[in-house]
Structure 1
Amino acid sequence: MAKCESCGTAESGYPNSHFQKAAVPAPPLPHSISTPSLVAQVMYQKFGLGLPLARQEKDWYRLGLVLSRNDMANWIIRCSQEWLEPVYWRILEKLSSCEVLHMDETRIQCNKEEGKKAGSESFMWVVRSAACEGLQAAFFYYSRNRSSKNPRYLLRDFRGYLVTDAYAGYENLDHVVRALCWSHVRRYMIESIPLDSRGREIPGSKGAEGREYINLLFKIENEIKDISFEEKKAKRQEASRPILDAFWSWVEKTAALYTPNELLTKALTYASNQKEYLETFMEDGRVPISNNLCEANIKPFTTSATLLMLFSE
């Protein structure tokens, strides 16, 4: 125990004064040189920047630290399980208490997975709180397949409105009211519009007509985005209802006409088959007209092979 030469003497009146050594912070993993900041940096470079552990190993060596890729992999796995996974499931628990959620899924590939061939399809699901919710969070969930068991499992405690695409796996969920995305309908309409040799739209197509109806709905949503939910519901009944009625009448008349345009037929069939769920947004001002908020969260998985973190059931 070290003492100050001036303060720690009998003459100073403080004979017991001494330098107290600060306790060494506990590592996130016992008997390891890991520190919270070091593990966080390894994870960030791996999942945030897409830097493989083999390259990190060389980079750390250049900085004077011998850190093997095996050690880093072990840190990532164990810290994820022991420190992050409880937080991860807590996010889903909190989301289940919301009244309006978004959900979507996208195909991914895991090249080294037991019981599956490299290149076979797996899925990443995302559950996202709606803009009306006080809690703003997104929950990602990996599964080996697209089975309806996955949304049933993830939404087992949820009661409220669920905004999705038309995938049948979201059907028959207990205590869930489905609302479908109008952006999907608009995409089908746009895909049906014929193009000339320069890739420009040929005027006067039925697909363009359908798109304009939907654009009007989105225009109204933009105009009423800052008012209360009750006012929004009333405005939708006043302004959106006539557009919806005109759109469904147009769909019915257009579907009765012969057309060689298979994409247009697909768009019309999709819209008419999903009419009930496409009108759910009219019931409550909190329900959004599209699933775009959720798709913005899942977009990185459709454009990059880098996965942030995988937890299977």
Structure 2
Amino acid sequence: APRAVKTKLKVDKVVVHEVDEYYTLPEGGRFMNRNGMPDVWEYRVIEHVRAHNVEHVYKVARVKLADGTFVSTMEHPLKDLGGIFSPELLARLLCLKYDFSMPENRQIRLLAREGIHISNTTLNSYIHNGIAKLKEFMEDVFKGFVQQAEYLMVDETTELVGIETKEGKAYRRKYLWAFFAKHMKMVYYHYNNGSRSSDVAKSFLEHFMGTLSTDGYTVYRMFDGEDSKVLHIGCWTHCRRLWVDALPSDRTAMEIIDSIGDMFMNEELFRTMRLSGEQIKGKRRQLTGPILESIHHKVVMMMQDAKIMANDLMRKAVNYTLNQWKSLRNILKDGAAEISNNLCEQRMKPVKLLLKNCMNIGSEDAAENSAFIFSLIESCKLNGIDPQDYLKHLFECILHGKDCDKKTLLPCFYKPEC
């Protein structure tokens, strides 16, 4: 008979059914042995017990005190969350939307099947009231901690946000920023009125004095000055894309693509060897430095070739590489930094997936709320924490006023027993 393959499963309860509980040995029969023990194997069956909802109804009475004043026997137990959903249920709904990209209309259908009938407006109100409480409780310490990182990766993306105009509500393309503290496994999503201007990066990074990885957006050029306290590192993946785009029109681009490929092969070697940041810095200077000099020489020669520069795609690749050369070459100065900004780009995937399902964000306030809840949930996932359990714990802290250092509640430090 086939033997069951054991897999790692997190279940709430394990029920073991012994053979004698369901089987009666026939008269004259006997169990087969192996090495002096009954030859027994296991079949495993996973059962899902559908969630059940419990409504708590608290009887409340008025009390007249000796001084003639009146009080109630209790305040609303969820007053500080602004709704009727418990911390566990509210955390679940937030994760359904912001972790599993389920739009609110689908959540309403799911709740209805479970016996909870609620309108879209009410559900939206509960969700955003809950996020507002989380922001009030944790945003300052979360944002401040990310700003203190020694290494940040930065990217920005667009989202469709509803704004009020004289003609009524209109939807505009707005920008969301991601500041990813890779070594802390924390990401902070920043919505600053949907702006993509240099003031957003300048204000967020006002006191930043570490290493910054970015793409080629011109705003980041402000960190390339000689007096800058920031080590700005460019993205070789973005650079490579331009050469790949130009390749069909000019095979010369392959020379640069191959050289960039050699750089990435070096990075994979460093990871395999599990080198420290300082060791990688030394290896980069030894192995990657000559490749960089070769790329720079080839690109400068291409710039002087009128035929190549007459090709729009080749001209774009050449100009990008030379204009970004200082930041692209800075990978030799910090071995702890990535030569590609892809890890930060990947932080935008859950945002894009939710927008694909929801189409837009209803208001600027909702955009700010979405940014912060994504910060919490994605940082939990980076640290291997169950976002639903984490959010439930935060809501319980808000409700019951648990005296806990908020820094210990950050996903990178969080322990369930805190």
CA distance in 1, matches of 2:185, 2:152: 10
* CA displacement at 1:106 relative to structure 2: 1.1
CA RMSD of aligned residues (A): 2.7
Structure 1 residues 142 and 32 mapped into 2: Cα distance closer, same or farther (>3 Å)? closer
Q: Is the 8 A contact 2:81 2:130 kept in 1?
A: no
Match for residue 151 of structure 1? 201
Give CA deviations for 1:245-291 in whole Å, capped at 9, x if unaligned: 11111101122112242111110110011111111110121121111
Q: Work out which of the residue numbers 278, 281, 284 in structure 1 matches 2:334.
A: 284
Q: Distance in 2 between matches of 1:31 and 1:215?
A: 54
1:72 aligned residue (85, 103, 123): 123
Which residue is equivalent to 2:297? 249
Please tell me whether the aligned partners of residues 281 and 289 of structure 1 are also in contact (alpha carbons under 8 angstroms).
Answer: yes
- Give the distance between the partners of 1:32 and 1:96, measured in 2 at CA: 33
Question: Match of 2:176, SS?
Answer: strand
Give 1:311's aligned amino acid: E
Residue matched to 1:180: 234
The CA distance in 1 between the partners of 2:174 and 2:287, in whole Å, is 42
The structure carrying a bigger helix percent of its residues is 2
**Deviation for aligned residue 1:242:** 0.9
| 1:161 is the counterpart of 2:215 | no
The answer to whether the aligner puts 1:228 opposite 2:276 as a matched pair is yes
Judged with a 3 Å threshold, the aligned counterparts in structure 2 of structure 1 residues 289 and 56 are, in CA distance, closer, same or farther, namely closer
Q: Report the equivalent of 2:181.
A: 129
Moved segments of 4+, more than 6 Å: none
- The one-letter code sitting in structure 2 at the alignment partner of 1:219 is M
Distance of 1:91 and 1:179 partners within structure 2: 24
Task: Pick one of 214, 217, 226 that aligns with 2:260.
Answer: 214
1:142 is aligned to 2:191: yes
Distance (Å, rounded) in 1 between the aligned partners of 2:237 and 2:102 = 35
TM-score by length of 1: 0.80
Residues 91-106 of structure 1: matches in 2 within 5 Å? 91-106=142-157
Deviation at 1:31, TM superposition (A): 7.4
1:43-71 per-residue CA deviation (whole Å, 9 max, x = no partner) reads 22333344333443343233222323222
Structure 2 unaligned residues grouped into runs of 5+: 1-73, 372-418
Q: Is this contact kept in 2: 1:166–1:180, CA < 8 A?
A: yes
What's the offset of the Cα at 1:194? 0.8
| Contact in 1 for aligned 2:277/2:335 (Cα 8 Å) | yes
Q: Which residue is 1:19 aligned to?
A: none
**CA offset digits 1:84-126 (Å, max 9, x no partner):** 443234222111121111001012211x222497342200100
CA contact (8 A) 2:98 2:354 kept: no
Quote the residue 2:368 is aligned against: 311
Relative to 1, partners in 2 of residues 1:68 and 1:303: Cα closer, same or farther, differing over 3 Å? closer
1:196-235 Cα deviation digits (max 9, x unpaired): xxxxxxxx81111110111111111111121122211111
Indicate conservation of the 8 Å contact 1:28/1:79, yes or no.
no
In structure 2, the CA distance between the partners of 1:113 and 1:161, relative to structure 1 (3 Å rule), is same
Which structure 2 residues correspond to residues 293-308 of structure 1 after superposition, within 5 A? 293-302=343-352, 304-305=354-355, 306=358
CA distance in 1, matches of 2:103, 2:354: 14
The structure, 1 or 2, with the larger RCO (C-alpha pairs under 8 Å, 6+ apart) is 2
User: Are residues 52 and 293 of structure 1, via their aligned partners in 2, closer, same or farther at CA, if it must alter by over 3 Å?
Assistant: closer
